[in-house]
Amino acid sequence: MAMQVGEQDQGEDVPMSDINTTPLVDVMLVLLIIFLITVPVVIQSVPITLPEVRNEPTETKKENVSLTVRAGAGGTCEVYWNLTQVNNEDLLDRAVKALEDQIAAVGGVENITDENMPEVHIRGDINTPYKCIGGTVFTMQRAGFARVGFISQPAAGGPVTRL
């Protein structure tokens, strides 16, 4: 390797104005290798399908059932059918009666469609244990309700979009 100090024509030593790019290329190659090694490690994860978040206005139909669930004193669960507090047995009885009434209103089981099938809308307090909400969902499904949804409070100032 040769080293050039200045131009050959001049008698005095003139500083060289060219940039030495060898260290720059070395650093860039090292960074490229680091990124090629670390990117697959960052991308690796367990494959899952995440739920899509959406806020939709609730369709209020007269046949829908509105339940409110919250934690009671001493670790108990309080379930309200509209504004009336019910226990687990009363909840099951009311749910079965509501479905029977709806089936009679449409003229039989063969006339039940997605449009006239009642839904359950559950409003759960944020501090309610899962066993209360899960027990209510299980009871309503046991009664025969196919659609159970949750009513939530959208984030303040957040956009409401349809997916």
Summarize pLDDT for 95-147 with one digit per residue, the tens: 999 999 988 988 888 888 878 888 898 888 888 888 999 999 999 999 999 88
Classify 72 as helix, strand or coil.
coil
What are the φ and ψ backbone dihedral angles of 43, each rounded to 5 degrees?
Answer: -75, -25
- Better-scored residue on pLDDT, 10 or 116: 116
What is the average pLDDT value for the chain, to the nearest integer? 80
Residue 138 lies in a domain: yes
What CATH number has the domain bearing residue 97?
A: 3.30.420.270
Residue at token pair 């060898």: 22
Q: H or E segment at 21?
A: none
Whether residue 147 lies inside any domain: the answer is yes
Task: Quote the domain boundaries for residue 109.
Answer: 65-151
As a whole number of Å, the CA-based R_g of the chain is: 34
Give tens-digit pLDDT for 51-72. Answer: 565 666 666 778 888 899 988 8
What is the band of 89 on the pLDDT scale with cuts at 50, 70, 90? very high
Rounded-to-integer distance, Cα 102 and Cα 63, Å: 7
Give residue 8's pLDDT: 59
- Has residue 89 been placed in a domain? yes
User: How does residue 83 score in pLDDT terms, banded at 50, 70 and 90?
Assistant: confident
For the chain, what is the domain count? Answer: 1
What pLDDT is recorded for position 110? 85
- Report whether 138 contacts 131 (CB < 8 A): no
With pLDDT > 70 as the criterion, what percentage of the chain qualifies? Answer: 74
Would you state the pLDDT for residue 75? 84
Looking up tokens 């299980």 gives: 138
Does the pLDDT of residue 15 top 80, yes or no? Answer: no
DSSP codes of every residue in 104-154 = HHHTSGGG--TTTS--EEEEE-TT--HHHHHHHHHHHHHHT---EEEE-PP
Which pLDDT does position 45 carry in this prediction?
A: 62
Q: How many helices (H) and strands (E) does the chain have?
A: 3, 5
Give every CB contact of residue 123 below 8 A, 6+ residues apart in sequence.
66, 67, 68, 69, 150, 151
Residue 90 lies in a domain: yes
Any domain includes 10: no
In a domain, 27, yes or no: no
